[in-house]
Structure 1
């Protein structure tokens, strides 16, 4: 039986998830500057949460909560999520935190385009306007200065946003039948072995205390974010909770200023509101369309 919808609770969960993600991305960027290889970061990012969840459930005698009748759906989510995580964590090691975060806000735009291509959904003037507005924001942020936003970073950020759009659909589907702890555990269980193969390149890692603290922090904040996001999508729709995602820009700007003495240039401050506005328009239209469920109406 699908869980009862609790929209305010879902919004609060998503807001907390965004704060956790912002800290995780900060630690990922700091770990890169500390000399820790990204594939190793990805391994520990999945290994720590998986072991922590397994130990917690075992201590409570609740291992049965991990039982699932949809292993292949979890595997598909892990494939998409693993690639998305590689791009999402990779982009913050290429770009400043604020710019990397803003590019992630193009995920709703890709969600609309995927609905047209994959679901043959009819999209009306409002959402097409939002798509064009968001793309214009990306062009403004990219600008002509490749030193500010290199092509590799731009491509990685947009690729990460595309994968996030796919992941949100997967999480919403799994959230109908699976508990958040089950979704998070199986994601770690399926992703950890492939990432472990990359560890063969470096062998047993030798890090100082700061390095291990960063890796542990990445695992802890990543686990927290996954649980909170999955729970938010369990109690609210993607279109209703996604508005909280834009709080990341404030955190990313703050961390960039405090830790890296970086403030976004003028073109980012102009392009970011366009991308955020596009996402809000899409979320609003999804809410309108959702309220008309069961009724026939023109394309949104």
Structure 2
């Protein structure tokens, strides 16, 4: 299967990834608004996933590349879809239970969970730097959550941390699939597989909607799909290690959108804990970049 053409334009990659962070933050605003309006989380996920299938089919058909969507690894795609669907339930659930800034901050712990999973599942050797980042990140979580006496509901914190854990697990699955599959093929089969159980559950939760609710669902689907395209486009112009730093800008967007739309600003505990979580993620990203450079030099020297 032909790989997508890549262009080395790091500044363009950073700009697109920054746009993706903004777009996905707006998507979360729609998630919060639509669930507050009375639409169930199951139906919200259904309308988030459904448009992806026909749009990608039309996209590849127009380009004469429908064969790109073919795969010999449907079992792996199915496993990734079920994991991804659970992760989306938790991620969207965290947004409904927590303010946007706090939900976004907890989401950043996915980098910390990825280190732990790499050690447990991939038997990767984790050095002092990354273990220190894990401890730093969880210290930040404790500062924000203030177990037993903070403004954050413990259920919301647990759901958000569960969502971050699932994101880390999904990243390992995608890393494996990306060795043989086109990025948009992974997106397509995720939507195609996950929409089936959502469609089965839909008759039990769907209710008549107002024009306002339909507009929220339409905005959610639009910004969700646009965010996926921007994430993919960024990787056409730059490497993951170089663009991932832009993801942390979503904390800025979430804070501004939470203030503008919901009239909520994070308390002092979030301002103190968020830099620890973000710093942990940046430390892990920096260390991963250093290790990849070392591996590249070792291969050249062989």
Q: TM-score, normalised by structure 2?
A: 0.90
Partner of 2:34: 31
Q: Structure 2 stretches of 5 or more lacking a match?
A: none
2:20 match: secondary structure: helix
Instruction: Report the CA distance between 1:121 and its aligned residue.
Output: 1.6
Partner of 2:266: 264
Task: Count how many residue pairs are aligned between Structure 1 and Structure 2.
Answer: 296
Contact 1:79 1:191 in 2 (8 A): yes
Q: Distance in 2 between matches of 1:61 and 1:206?
A: 39
Instruction: Report the CA distance between 1:143 and its aligned residue.
Output: 1.0
Partner of 1:90: 93
Partner of 1:165: 168
1:69 match: secondary structure: coil
Contact 2:106 2:161 in 1 (8 A): yes
Partner of 1:128: 131
Partner of 2:19: 16
Instruction: Report the CA distance between 1:13 and its aligned residue.
Output: 3.5
Instruction: Report the CA distance between 1:71 and its aligned residue.
Output: 1.5
Instruction: Report the CA distance between 1:295 and its aligned residue.
Output: 5.6
What does 1:38-57 align with in structure 2 at a 5 Å threshold? Answer: 38-57=41-60
Contact 2:147 2:154 in 1 (8 A): no
Q: Distance in 2 between matches of 1:234 and 1:88?
A: 26
Q: Distance in 1 between matches of 2:161 and 2:144?
A: 12
Q: RMSD in angstroms over aligned alpha carbons?
A: 2.2
Contact 2:42 2:205 in 1 (8 A): no
Q: Distance in 2 between matches of 1:95 and 1:152?
A: 9
Stretch moving more, 67-76 or 90-99: 67-76
What does 1:116-265 align with in structure 2 at a 5 Å threshold? Answer: 116-144=119-147, 148-203=151-206, 205-233=207-235, 236-265=238-267
> For residues 97 and 146 of structure 1, do their structure 2 counterparts lie closer, same or farther at Cα, with a shift above 3 Å needed?
farther
> For residues 172 and 224 of structure 1, do their structure 2 counterparts lie closer, same or farther at Cα, with a shift above 3 Å needed?
farther
Which residue, 73, 76, 81 being the options, matches 1:73?
76
Stretch moving more, 214-223 or 263-272: 214-223
> For residues 150 and 7 of structure 1, do their structure 2 counterparts lie closer, same or farther at Cα, with a shift above 3 Å needed?
farther
Contact 1:171 1:230 in 2 (8 A): no
Deviations 1:67-119 (A, max 9, x none): 22221221121111111111111100000000000000101101111111112
Partner of 1:273: 275
Q: Structure 1 stretches of 5 or more lacking a match?
A: none
Contact 2:13 2:238 in 1 (8 A): yes
1:55 match: secondary structure: helix
